[in-house]
Amino acid sequence: MREALQHARDAGDLGDVPIGAVVLDEDLRVIGAGRNVREQDGDPTGHAEVVALRAAAYTRGEWRLSGCTLVVTLEPCTMCAGAAVLSRVDRVVFGAYDEKAGAVGSLWDVVRDRRLNHRPEVLAGVLADESTALLDAFFAAHRG
């Protein structure tokens, strides 16, 4: 999570919402990393999770990320929760809950939906205070 937090800081420094993500393989090695790049790239799908999952798939040479863990500083939205399911990660670890758009327990629970063919394990609240502080500082500076 600390590495994901650094990617989040990098995103904030570049004007994007400070959210960062990493994908770990079975041996806990980082095989993909990402940060929000929506503003930088003008890409609505430029969420940290999608960037990290794409990087991990490239590293692996395939889209299936079985055995991997997606670690992200903020609870994934519906798009990113869906990407986690479709990439077949074994688990999703996140920091802060997202009461406005979270899809891993807050508003929806995409990753645990029994109608889907894959349901990753979830670990929530990891270094949540640090993730929340980054987001609060970013939005205070941009609204102030």
Identify which of 50, 53, 46, 48 has the alpha carbon closest to the alpha carbon of residue 69: 53
- Please check if 80 is assigned to a binding site: yes
Is residue 49 annotated as a catalytic residue, yes or no? yes
- Please check if 68 is assigned to a binding site: no
Taken in order 34, 35, 41, 44, is the CA torsion positive or negative? positive
- Do 76 and 84 form a contact (C-beta atoms < 8 A)? yes
Residue 80 three-state SS? helix
Residue 127 three-state SS? coil
Catalytic residue among 3, 26, 39, 49: 49
Tell me the binding residues for Zn(2+). 47, 77, 80
Residues placed in the known binding site: 47, 77, 80
The catalytic residues are 49
